[in-house]
């Protein structure tokens, strides 16, 4: 059962006093059966939600019971506003939600929470680039993820550019280094799709349920681990001056490991990439400042690149 749906049902009853399963279903865009199960789940959880049968009946909170947000600690409130605040200027719904949350906080928390909301500005555009906006396709997929609706994708392959149609369950979206990814369930299990390769997306009325125990952060960590493993299938041992080690780490990221100091004072390091050619291309610009001890295929690629440069520019 979706926690956000249950909270929405509870807040709707607070606002209206009484609500029918059909009204709740229409408001939350779910089936009447799903809305009824949500209401029964609230009652089973100990919240004083009771049905009143007959004409003019429905579900209501006994005695006008209400929920509030005073369970938040000062640090939790600050953390929430620090995280949400930078996105608020571009999201009217988020600005509205933060204003409501601010009013619901105890007075002693409000000043610091309000200060936290304006303490950070995130500017994702690089110098000289125009302002970046979230792609509309991301918004479409976000809505489908929240509403639990299956999506029919037209997806373009990375190598052959061939387009295929897929019916997927959108489980979550991830923004990594300004590239959006969709984690989704398919008939073959969990798959990851780059949003910029989705040529079209049609949200259907078919509902789906996330797998029990699914956590987007944990699932994405698994994707990252697998991708990084593929990105480091070939490794090379190199010798460089110690002062250049930070630059080498900047080039290779997590795929650069220091192995300690060599006898001549240089630093021995291990770097990795998907192919020997990739390593050689990264190291070629270092000239004689880097020495590749092994493997032979990386040394051969460097020799080939050097020969090409001599042939082109050595005359």
Query: DSSP letters along 221-240, please?
Result: HHHHHHHHHHTTSEEEEEEE
Q: What pLDDT is attached to residue 55?
A: 67
pLDDT tens digit sequence for 66-95: 555 445 566 766 666 666 666 666 666 666
Q: What pLDDT is attached to residue 1?
A: 42
pLDDT tens digit sequence for 251-292: 898 899 999 999 999 999 999 999 999 999 999 989 889 999
Q: What pLDDT is attached to residue 34?
A: 84
Residues of the chain with confidence (pLDDT) below 50 = 1, 64-65, 69-70
Strands, sheet with 49-52, edge to edge from the N-terminal-most edge strand? 18-19, 58-61, 49-52
CB atoms within 10 A of CB 132: 12
Could you tell me the two tokens for 155? 């997806």
Q: What share of the chain is helix, strand, coil (3-state, %, to 5)?
A: 50, 25, 25
- Among left, alpha and beta (phi > 0; psi -120 to 50; other), residue 184 is beta
Q: What pLDDT is attached to residue 257?
A: 93
């Amino acid at each position: 059962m979706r926690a956000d749906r249950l909270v929405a049902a509870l807040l709707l009853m607070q606002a209206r006093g009484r609500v029918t399963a059909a009204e709740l279903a229409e408001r939350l865009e779910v089936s009447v059966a799903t809305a009824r199960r949500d209401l029964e789940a609230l009652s089973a959880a100990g919240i004083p939600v009771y049905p009143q049968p007959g004409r003019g009946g429905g579900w209501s909170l006994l005695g006008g019971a209400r929920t509030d947000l005073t369970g938040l600690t000062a640090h939790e409130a600050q953390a929430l506003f620090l995280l949400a605040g930078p996105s608020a200027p571009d999201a009217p719904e988020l600005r509205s939600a933060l204003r409501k949350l601010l009013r619901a906080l105890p007075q002693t928390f409000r000043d610091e929470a309000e200060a936290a909301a304006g303490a950070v500005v995130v500017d994702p555009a690089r110098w000289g680039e125009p302002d970046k906006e979230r792609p509309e396709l991301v918004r479409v997929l976000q809505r489908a993820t929240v509403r639990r609706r299956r999506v029919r994708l037209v997806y373009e392959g990375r190598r052959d550019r061939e387009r295929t149609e897929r019916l997927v369950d959108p489980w979550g979206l991830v923004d990594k280094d300004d590239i959006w990814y969709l984690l989704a369930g398919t008939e073959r299990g969990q798959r990851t799709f780059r949003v910029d390769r989705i040529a079209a997306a049609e949200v259907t009325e078919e509902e789906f349920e996330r797998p029990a125990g699914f956590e987007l952060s944990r699932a994405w960590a698994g994707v990252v681990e697998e991708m990084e493993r593929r990105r480091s299938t070939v490794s090379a041992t190199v010798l460089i001056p110690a002062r250049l080690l930070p630059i080498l780490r900047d080039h290779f990221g997590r795929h650069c490991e220091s192995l300690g100091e060599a006898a001549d004072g240089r630093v021995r390091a291990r770097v990795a990439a998907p192919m020997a050619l990739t390593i050689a291309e990264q190291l070629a610009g270092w000239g004689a400042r880097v020495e590749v001890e092994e493997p032979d295929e990386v040394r051969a690629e460097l020799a080939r690149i050097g020969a090409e440069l001599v042939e082109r520019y050595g005359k």
